[in-house]
Amino acid sequence: MSERPGLFTRVIAGFKSEVPADTLESVQKAGIGVYQVLDDVELLRKSLAAQGADPWSVPEAVSAQQLYAWNAFVLQTLGDKMIEADYRADALTVGYLPRVTAEQVWAFFGQVEGWLSLARQAAANPGFTIGDRRSLPADLPGWVEVEPCPRPHLEAMIAAGAAIREHAELALALLEAAGVPHGRQADLHRLRQIAAEAATAADYATNMYSPRAEARLHELIEERLRHALEAYHHLGQLVAMPSLLKTYGKPGTSGSAGFGESRKKLPRPGQAGFDPWCLTQPRSVSRWKNDLRARESITEMWRHDPNPAQTLRFQEDINACLERGYIAPTGAHYYCCPWAPIFRVNRPVLIGDRRLQPGQEFTLEVSAEEILETGRFVREIVNGPFHPTNQIDYCNPGDFHDD
């Protein structure tokens, strides 16, 4: 953690419109336990290899511990390297980060605690189960778009990729050392293929990189580094739980939070018991019911919804995840009609076609605001992070303006 920035540093950072990194540094420090958990997992892998344990048949808790620890390690490493690279590139503003870098680091660190908690839970409980495997292997958080990609970002991705690659290749080597059972050779070949794909992209980007590279080359390097990091992220999870290879690369299906017909069906518009406020944060419903514009907005939203059954299936999946503790409300709600709750993910889930990972925040956005101008009805899962605001948007049809 950097020392408290002095006046000169604060002035320079202000001139560059950089933001304080003290909170991020605290979160970074809190995640340091990830590396000890990874060490424990690698000792476990070596022990399993020495025993000749079949990675396809070990208890689910053992695979889950390795998979969750891997995800926490990858995200912590990416965040660490982003901060280190920026401080190294600009010693005058140590303790501050460009806004785009801070947003990217938040995206990484925001999921670490969730994965770390799951890894420790799996280690502590031999009967631990994952639940819905269709949310795995998890993807990396979204990349914050900026053109051209800042040089420290590329250097951070190269450094993170080298560290992640080392541990991914070790994990794959230990899987092979355990002895691949009869009938699993095709899986091993697939894992080797993913490793080769990742290594090629990483080597290509590293060999192209130069601090003096122009913007177009930055773009090519960034593209390959992202590809390599995504591939290594998936590889580590697939080595931890090779049974995931059965469905790897296949698209998810709508309404696939893993509950199917067991989820509780909500009444549709026109049916007895239909509640037009069923998407709204329960604690705020009375407020909106007392607001004439809000009542009008809810009515218009449902009137223009071309497929209310699909909208309600999203909510049914959310309710099912909530009942099982896979997600939890944050206590806040979205600023747009229907003012849906904002949730934090506790365990990996797949709602609609959106994979959600531990630590992520999300809400359900439903809006008819654009329908008169563009014909578009919005119905989608929106990822955070979310920030407090006093803004209220009623999202009535006709309010939309394409700026």
pLDDT digits (tens, 9 = 90+) for 125-175: 999 998 777 778 988 888 877 766 777 888 899 999 999 999 999 999 999
pLDDT digits (tens, 9 = 90+) for 104-126: 898 899 899 999 999 999 999 99
> Does the pLDDT of residue 8 top 60, yes or no?
no
- Cα separation, 31 vs 25, in Å, equals 10
SS3 at position 354 = strand
Whether 230 has a pLDDT exceeding 70, the answer reads yes
Query: Which one is predicted more confidently, 284 or 349?
Result: 284
What integer is the mean pLDDT of 291-308?
93
- Asked whether residue 294 carries a pLDDT value surpassing 80, the answer given is yes
Domains in the chain: boundaries: 7-246, 260-383
What is the average per-residue pLDDT within 268-283?
Answer: 94
pLDDT at site 11: 56
Whole-model pTM: value is: 0.72
* Euclidean distance between CA atoms 84 and 240, whole angstroms: 29
Other CB atoms closer than 10 Å to residue 192's CB: what's the count?
13
The per-residue pLDDT of the chain, averaged, comes to: 86
Who wins on pLDDT, 191 or 96? 191
pLDDT for 257 equals 41
Question: Rounded distance, CA 258 to CA 134, Å?
Answer: 8
Tens digit of each residue's pLDDT (9 = 90 or more) over 336-362: 999 999 999 988 888 877 888 888 899
